[in-house]
Amino acid sequence: MREIAVVGFVQSPSLRREPNRNEVEILVPVIAELKKSVGITNDQIGFVCSGSSDYLAGQSFAFVAGLDAVGAWPPVSESHVEMDGAWALYEAWVKMQMGYADVALVYGFGKPSMGDLPLTMALQLDPYSMMPLWPDAISLAALQARLLLENGHLTEREMAERAVRDRRNAKSNPFAQLKGDFEVEKLLSEPMLASPLRKHDCAPISDGASGIILAAGEKAKELCKRPAWITGIAHILEPMELGVRDLTRSRSSEIAAHRAGVWRDKVDAAELSAPFTHQQILVERALGLSAKTRVNPSGGALAGNPLMAVGLSRIGEAAQQSWRGGADRAVAHATSGPCLQQNLVCVLEGN
- DSSP classification of residue 47: E
Nearer to another protein, 91 or 271 (CB): 91
Sign of CA dihedral 46, 317, 238, 203: negative
Min separation Cβ 47 and another protein, Å: 9
Min separation Cβ 304 and another protein, Å: 19
Nearer to another protein, 327 or 340 (CB): 340
Min separation Cβ 17 and another protein, Å: 9
Q: Interhelix angle for 137-150 vs 277-287, to 10°?
A: 60
Rg over CA atoms, the chain: 19
Q: φ and ψ at 202, to 5 degrees?
A: -110, 140
Nearer to another protein, 78 or 161 (CB): 78
Min separation Cβ 321 and another protein, Å: 26
- The SS3 of residue 238 is coil
Nearer to another protein, 64 or 188 (CB): 64
- DSSP classification of residue 73: -
- How many alpha carbons fall within 13 Å on the CB side of residue 75? 2
Nearer to another protein, 180 or 239 (CB): 239
Min separation Cβ 66 and another protein, Å: 10
Nearest to 141 by CA among 198, 72, 69, 218: 198
Do residues 112 and 307 touch, judged by C-beta distance below 8 A?
yes
